[in-house]
Amino acid sequence: MKRVLSGIQPSGQLTLGNYIGAIQNFVRLQETHECFFMVVDMHAITVPQEPMALREQTEAVAALYIASGIDPAKAAVFAQSHVPGHAELGWLFTTLAYMGELERMTQFKDKSAGKESVGAGLFVYPALMAADILIYNADLVPVGDDQKQHLEITRDLAARFNGRFGDYFTIPEPYIPKVGARIMSLDDASRKMSKSNPNPGSYIAMLDEPDAVRKKLSRAVTDSGREVKYDPANKPEISNLMSIYAHCAGVTLEEIESRYEGQGYGGFKKDLAEHVVAALEPLQAKYRDIRRSGEIHRILAEGAERAEAIAARTLRGAKERMGFLPPKA
């Protein structure tokens, strides 16, 4: 059984884009792979976080994993910071990373643009991301198109370690679904739907109330004309909404085109909103039950224990190959 590792940052509310582009894939993968799904809280602090908000969002992301269908009996669900080997192996990979390759990272360029000072953590965090993946010797990493660069540097660091210290780390491969891997913003289909967007109308949060969902979708930008046709190159806005519809309603893009032929955007957007609401409401009810029960703390503890068993062994082997003295028995 191949091993899968992925995670989501607990910074801001998770969006419908996170659900369709990532979490739904996690749910499918747990049936056929050995899965480790993290809440990457240590990555979140590469930019300033309020402590109470970080705690709340870490619990919320973990609870949304479970509410969405991730089964903690099948997949390890844990907080990154609960497995200390991530940080230690991250430092080891920082010593193997080159300044030039870190400077080329697109996300670093984007997040540091226009700022007078930038934290060192933002610069070196690709090394921590590499450690997240390699400490489990993951075979597959579900990534969006915007994360390919981070997986490339992970592969480079694994190969560099193997070349210097002997063959040890698995070189991971990306897992990128053909449809729905990247849900775009409701106000600009050239940009990914993001929880960090300052305009709340640009995304649908997984915990948005039904009326908020309806309002946001009624205001979603559409292309000129009135034809409901999937054509990302020439009709990116309506194509993005169709992709959301297909995932939430469980129908094909061809079925959507046929259903709304000659009808224009109005009825399509109203129906889309109801399908999104229908997809989110049961998930939200499960989320509220999980949070009220306090069960998420047990799930995270058990997940961290499973992850730690593998991570500690991998870290120990990496340190031995690098020449560190083993601790006394």
- Catalytic residues, by residue number, are 111, 192, 195
C-alpha torsion angle, residues 109, 112, 115, 116 (rounded to 10): -90
Residue from 217, 219, 188 nearest 205 by CA? 217
CA distance 57 to 160: 35
Count of CB atoms situated within 10 Å of the CB of 263 = 13
CA distance 302 to 172: 25
Please report the DSSP string for 183-222 in residue order. Answer: PBPSS-TTSB--TT-S-GGG--BTT--HHHHHHHHHT---
CA distance 69 to 72: 9
CA distance 82 to 301: 8
Check if the beta carbon of residue 215 is closer than 8 Å to that of residue 203: no
Residue from 174, 96, 85, 164 nearest 131 by CA? 85
CA distance 199 to 53: 19
